[in-house]
A and B are shown apart, each in its own frame.
Chain A
Amino acid sequence: MELGGSTILYACVYATILMGFLGIIFKENLVMKIIAMDVMSTGVVALFVLVAARTGVRTPILTASPLTPYADPVPQAVILTAIVIGFSIQALMLVGVMKLAKDNPTLEIRAIEEEYRP
């Protein structure tokens, strides 16, 4: 495989996903974990956009001008839904964290797990 522009882009996108994932595991603070999850989902969004750009980068709008290679609209439409869902889940989680923070001001996950263990 040649090391073209798109290979490097794919590598960057997968690195973002991996970084986010490692952040979820290794960050100790709950808010940081949620942010790490956001990084991971940003990586996934970028992957969708990259796959859509495989066929071209033009916006797929029908015009009178001659045909140019255009981006695949399907993954973009799909990821738009996923972004909205991801954003609402994140909002919900942060509201939950705000309420938890009243009793656990440090929001350290170990302390929280210890406290609510059955």
Chain B
Amino acid sequence: MNEISGLTMLWIAFPFLMGFGIYLLPQADRVLSISLTICSAIYALGILQMPEPLSLSLLDNFGVTLLVDNLSIFFILTNALVSTAVIIYSWHTSKTAFFYTQLAILHGSLNSAFICADFVSLYVALEVIGIAAFLLIAYPRQNRSLWVALRYLFISNTAMLFYLIGAILIYQAHQSFAFAGLANAPLEAKALILIGLLVKGGIFVSGLWLPFTHAEAESPVSALLSGVVVKAGVFPLVRCALMVDDLALVLGWLGVVAALLGVLYGLFEQDSKRVLACSTLSQAGWILAAPAAAGPYALAHGVAKAALFLGVGNLPSRHLPTLRQRAIDPSLWVPILLGSLSISGFPLLLGFSSKMLTLKAVSSWQTWVLNLAAVGTAVLYANFIFLSCRQDPESKQALVKNPGLKLALGLLIAALIILNWVYLPQTFSGFNTLKATILMVTGWLLWWQGVSRIQWPFPKVMEQFEHLIGGMVVMLAVVLFITIMWTNTALETPLWRVFS
């Protein structure tokens, strides 16, 4: 057991050491950073062999507590796969050592967010993630990208201040910052912690900062943001939902509504990268809706979304009606098609298995709403599936210019196909296949019949900076309301039972 804990410590410290190492040895930046992500993948697969979760408590009772269980492994694996793909993609571009340093630090802080088991270590991890993501978004050094990054950091830091207030209230009640303290914590402490994490994870109204940030960043950075960084906020929510029952109720509710909101928001978009970002908003809700099946879903979404951002970011235009007018080269079209099919839930790809596991784990009313969201997802991705595919030298340019693109896409798509075989025995049945197909085809028909012709610009008022900050208070009220309505932590009997 001791060897494994030593190894875990080494694995957590490694990316940070390497991050600075890259600065000392800028010639080896790519090799060093890719060795990190490969180490993470090996570590995750190694821990998978362990019979029971690894729990570490460092520096006495008040120190850092870590917990590596099955759930963490899925998130660590997602992180490893997406980071590797992004490094391969950037291999032949002119990115400097600074970029790879930030990549290494982001990778390390994400890993630590995925294994920590107390609110303070999580706070530190999330803030480091915020800073590293800020520097990556601002990497092009243009004023526009600087504003996108600044807005992201401001919103996430304000959310983390709410989180800190919640953390100290929990400490006041339990003399400890451990996640387990959430069970009997005061109502306001729970709500404040949730707000911080909901904003970081891009759930429901508090996640509306996400479309602008994810769409305006460079493609490899978008892939990282949508693929893993958002999951650093969702992961602690899932872990808390698995530990505390009332929380599972509130988050199940929010997750389902968020899944629907993201899809509705994306329906009216004309911009390809914004469609992808809105879909992230919806998929984060899916992950949260069924905490028991969150691991596979996060993995499926992260890998497919990263592939889509890398692929779509290299199309000749971002405007969807323009894209429909022209042909896309098969070498770029096929990966985009497979990524889209996976998220839509096509059998034979990982998205199918994870979707079926999620639908099996939720309660019956949630199933109905989630089915609706699945149809909506199919509508969104029909935008990419029905692009015309023909030999086209212009759209092939991106692949010729950057040989890393093909390799990165290949890695991600191969992961989607291979990992699916692990789950297929559990999820493959005639009924499930039929259901997934019907959901998808319904979405495509809807798209073909009307959605593709909608030209109405959806108002973006809610995405203004001040509204996003004010939205946090609205969410605070919503969370408090749901908790009081449906659970009896604050009142002896739940309110809905009093009224009925």
Contacts and interface: CB of A to CB of B under 8 A. Distances in A.
Nearest to B147: A116
B146 A100 contact: yes
Contacts of A71: none
Nearest to A74: B62
A37 B154 contact: yes
B153 A92 contact: yes
A99 B143 contact: yes
Interface in A23-69: 24-25, 33-34, 37, 40-41, 44, 47-48, 51, 54
Given A100-B146, A118-B274, A89 B465 contact: no
Contacts of B197: none
A62 B134 CA distance: 43
Nearest to A30: B150
Given A44-B164, A118-B271, A51 B466 contact: no
Contacts of B164: 44, 48, 82
Contacts of B466: 25, 109
Contact of A48 (B153, B168, B212, B274): B168
Given A25-B469, A96-B150, A97-B150, A118 B212 contact: yes
A33 B123 contact: no
B304 interface: no
B149 A96 contact: yes
Select the residue from A34, A81, A85 with max chain B CB neighbours within 10 A.
A85
A9 interface: no
B39 interface: no
Nearest to A99: B146
A106 interface: no
A41 B156 CA distance: 13
A75 B168 contact: yes
Contact of B150 (A48, A85, A100): A100
A103 B147 CA distance: 12
Contacts of B172: 51, 54
Given A81-B120, A81-B124, A96 B165 contact: no
Interface string B148-166: 1110011001100100110
A20 B123 CA distance: 20
Contact of B131 (A33, A44, A92): A92
B345 interface: no
Contact of A100 (B147, B161, B216): B147
Contacts of B473: 21
Nearest to A102: B143
A96 B146 contact: yes
Q: Is the interface of A mostly helix, strand, loop or mixed?
A: helix
Contact of B161 (A41, A74, A96): A41
B168 A51 contact: yes
Contacts, number: 87
Contact of A40 (B150, B161, B177, B212): B161
A89 B466 CA distance: 20
Contacts of B138: 96
A44 B124 CA distance: 15
A84 B212 CA distance: 29
A44 B162 CA distance: 9
A2 interface: no
A15 to B, nearest CB: 13
B144 interface: yes
Contact of A113 (B134, B165, B216, B464): B464
Interface string B454-467: 00000010001110
Contacts of B161: 17, 37, 40-41, 44
B165 A103 contact: no
A40 to B, nearest CB: 6
B201 interface: no
A33 B154 contact: yes
Contacts of A48: 164, 168
Interface of A: 17, 21, 24-25, 33-34, 37, 40-41, 44, 47-48, 51, 54, 74-75, 77-78, 81-82, 85-86, 88-89, 92-93, 96-97, 99-100, 102-103, 109, 112-113, 116-118
Interface of B: 62, 120, 123-124, 127-128, 130-131, 134-135, 138, 143-144, 146-150, 153-154, 157-158, 161, 164-165, 168, 171-172, 177, 212, 215-216, 271, 274, 460, 464-466, 469-470, 473
17 contacts: A24-B158, A34-B154, A48-B164, A74-B62, A74-B171, A75-B171, A82-B164, A85-B128, A86-B157, A92-B131, A96-B146, A96-B150, A99-B146, A100-B143, A112-B147, A113-B465, A118-B215
In the A-B complex, the 9 residue pairs with the smallest Cβ-Cβ separation, listed nearest first, are A96-B150, A85-B127, A116-B147, A116-B144, A74-B62, A44-B164, A78-B120, A51-B172, A51-B168
Given A88-B131, A89-B127, A93-B153, 16 more contacts: A17-B165, A25-B466, A34-B154, A37-B158, A44-B161, A44-B168, A47-B168, A51-B171, A82-B123, A86-B157, A96-B149, A100-B146, A102-B143, A109-B465, A112-B147, A117-B460
